[in-house]
Amino acid sequence: MNAIERFERFKRIRGNEVFKCFRSNLEEARYNYWNSNGAIQKHRRMMDTLFQAVDAGVVNSGWLLSCGVDYHYEKIAKLAMMQRARGWDVRYHTNCILETIEDAYTRLGQVIMGERDKAGKEVK
């Protein structure tokens, strides 16, 4: 693949397209870092939702700490900037971020439905 093809592919990765398969581990890392459908942007949207929930008094502010994934976020950022990326690293850190997002939305839904209190503890 020549430089122009790589640049065109990079522009597509940075866009709003949803990718199912990637040509390389590096491409997957870049997708999850820059694309609006990638793990980092999904996490940012989840954090915005949590900030709104904290401001509205639905949940305690401790949720912002428990749902932050700074370590994995930084690792994905470093992987996206590298020349080569190990597939295990890309998939592990991406999956950790996505699991945190899923868990946060599940717990937030349980708080709204009355199954948990503001601190996130189960209501009996």
Residues 89-109 have pLDDT tens digits of: 999 999 999 999 999 999 888
Residue 120 located in a structural domain: no
**Residue environment code for 77-105, b if the CB has 16+ CB neighbours within 10 A, otherwise e:** eebbeeeebeeebbeebbebbbebbeebe
pLDDT band at 124 (very low <50, low <70, confident <90, very high): low
- The tally of domains found in the chain comes to 1
- Asked whether the predicted pLDDT for residue 75 surpasses 90, the reply is yes
Residue 123: inside a domain? no
Average pLDDT, the chain: 85
Domain assignment of residue 83, given as a range: 3-113
Q: State the pLDDT at residue 92.
A: 96
> Is residue 119 a part of any domain in this protein?
no
Taking the CA atoms of residue 108, residue 113, residue 118 and residue 124 in that order, the dihedral angle to the nearest 10 degrees is -120
Q: Give residue 17's pLDDT.
A: 66
3-state DSSP assignment of residue 116? strand
